[in-house]
Amino acid sequence: MSPAPTGSSAERPSIGRRTVLGAAAAAASAPALLGLSTPASAAPSSAAPRALPGGGDLGPNVIVFDPSTSGIQAKLDEVFRQQESAQFGTGRYALLFKPGTYNGLNAQLGFYMSIAGLGLSPDDTTINGDVTVDAGWFNGNATQNFWRSAENLALVPVNGTNRWAVAQAAPFRRMHVRGGLNLSPNGYGWASGGYIADSRIDGQVGPYSQQQWYTRDSAIGSWLNGVWNMVFSGVEGAPAQSFPNPVYTTLNTTPVSREKPFLYLSGSEYRVFLPEKRTNARGVTWGNGTPRGTSLPLSQFYVAKPGVSAATLNQALTQGLHLLLTPGIYHVDQPIQVNRAGTVVLGLGYATLTPDNGVTALKVADVDGVRLAGFLIDAGPVNSATLLEVGPQGANTDHSANPTTVQDVFVRIGGAGAGKATTSMVINSRHTIVDHTWIWRADHGTGVGWDTNRADYGIVVNGDDVLATGLFVEHFNKYDVQWYGQRGRTIFFQNEKAYDAPNQAAIQNGSVKGYAAYKVGDAVTTHEGWGLGSYCYYNVNPAIVQHNGFSAPNKPGVKFHDLLVVSLGGQGQYERVINETGSPTSGTSTIPSTVVSYP
């Protein structure tokens, strides 16, 4: 791997959390969319608020292209220049391509840029060219390439291989790469990703310097290497199970999955496709005729624009409309309350919810089949007890036939400004599927400090039968994950303990040194996890000792496969991997300590 990028400190963006992490890995290896508005079906009574219309245009930050559009490359470049290094900026963009063939494009993606095809299948929209994520803005370091996405396109890369050098919160979904995929930045610099689902890569996937990666329900030609933790479930062409050498955790199928909803065109009508649930899933959902699922016309969605009130969003939901959040930042002074079974809340271009006055941004009732997808929740300066709640406390309804899904829903505390939340995400409803999330207490940006962006807990799972596929949770003051529900399962977990603990006493957990990254409650009798990693980098006080990364009751039904802990450059150490099992980390060599099977 290449050495660290060069350049004076004055030239570099704020390095923060990722520098040593990346070094360790390197060492180891426009125009508004014309709307389709449908009037409300009934005239409002004088006692009721005027009914809100469904449908409508998608606003100025959804930019739609068709093959005859002139100046596509110039527009892509214009948005990229604005967003390339705007890590904590306010810009949000969705770049949508109507079905057809586009030639000679290179769509470079910066922060809060989403690119997607508008066909029912990725192969309906072909770009003879590239969708590129690289790290020139950060001197070849890709470890902060967050918050960007690609969906529902076929790519024919110019040189045979597409570059997708991302870190967290950057999903690659429902893509067909007619060639290879390179997950590292130019020069093979540091990288810390990532997530692929429902995609076909005809050639080789080369992660190179990527420390960890999760690929779900896809098909690949081959996979090149791994650094610490490469996890596959339901992937045709995946390498065989071999952790820790090579570092592959491979499940033949994914127990339950349901792909993310997506916007598409049916003739000239915009609709949202809702893929059906699969059990023991393997391979992509598309490519053999019409995908399986249902769809909704845009007229059944309230098309929200930044500046709308939470009261209006709730009125739309009460009316029976779904929500489509167009790109931008939404301040909510009361929770968005999803009470109706089957409701879809779909964000475009990293639409962002910011709670005001310490409220919870969004709450879901204990109902079937809610789909939350494609948005960011950014904590406000007044502490919120929670930011997202799926189901009320004590929820116990069986949702196995039609679970709620939380997909590409990301949480941030601090970074863009002061933010606080006691617990970020609470899952109370049974059978919920959390499919790709990054829950992040910021370690860089503005409004950052041990007590400045205080956030004790990342995700708390109280519901039974919950499945997490692609769980990224980082830097919380206490537990990153607490799991109290029975029969929970996690496939892939990536964690860093909070960097900024001032001393050992600040993280002391009773008689235990530090809070485990992933804590299974003492009353749990059945739980299983595959491919889980926790890293420490106590750079404020490198003498801090973390007892273990994982803590769970020692019961026959509580099982873990392929665990690792890593001390990044010797900045703090772990005494054990899980409970009292696993060798301690030591020295500055950033070598993982692993446990293949527990108990």
Catalytic residues: 496
Cβ(218)–Cβ(200) below 8 Å: yes
At 365, is the secondary structure helix, strand, or coil?
Answer: coil
Contacts of 438 (CB under 8 A, 6+ apart): 146, 168, 169, 410, 411, 472, 473, 474
| Helix spans in 292-422 (H) | 310-318
Cβ(87)–Cβ(57) below 8 Å: no
Cβ(185)–Cβ(141) below 8 Å: yes
Strands 433-441 and 93-97, sheet pairing = unpaired
Single-letter amino acid code for the residue at 8: S
Cβ(574)–Cβ(536) below 8 Å: yes
Give the Cα separation of 461 and 393 in Å (integer): 11
DSSP per position, 81-110: HHHTT-TT-S--EEEEE-SEEEEEEEEE--
Q: How many CA atoms lie less than 13 Å away from 336 in the CB half-sphere?
A: 29
Backbone angles phi, psi at 21, to 5 degrees: -55, -50
Give the Cα separation of 387 and 272 in Å (integer): 26
Give the Cα separation of 583 and 578 in Å (integer): 10
Backbone angles phi, psi at 404, to 5 degrees: -85, 140
Q: How many CA atoms lie less than 13 Å away from 341 in the CB half-sphere?
A: 8
- Using alpha carbons only, how large is the chain's radius of gyration in Å? 22
- Token pair of 191 as six digits: 């990288």
In the chain the first and final C-alpha atoms are separated, in Å, by: 36
Host H or E run for residue 75: helix 72-83
CA dihedral 502, 506, 512, 516 (to 10 degrees): -70
Could you identify the residue written with the tokens 């603990």? 501
Cβ(58)–Cβ(326) below 8 Å: yes
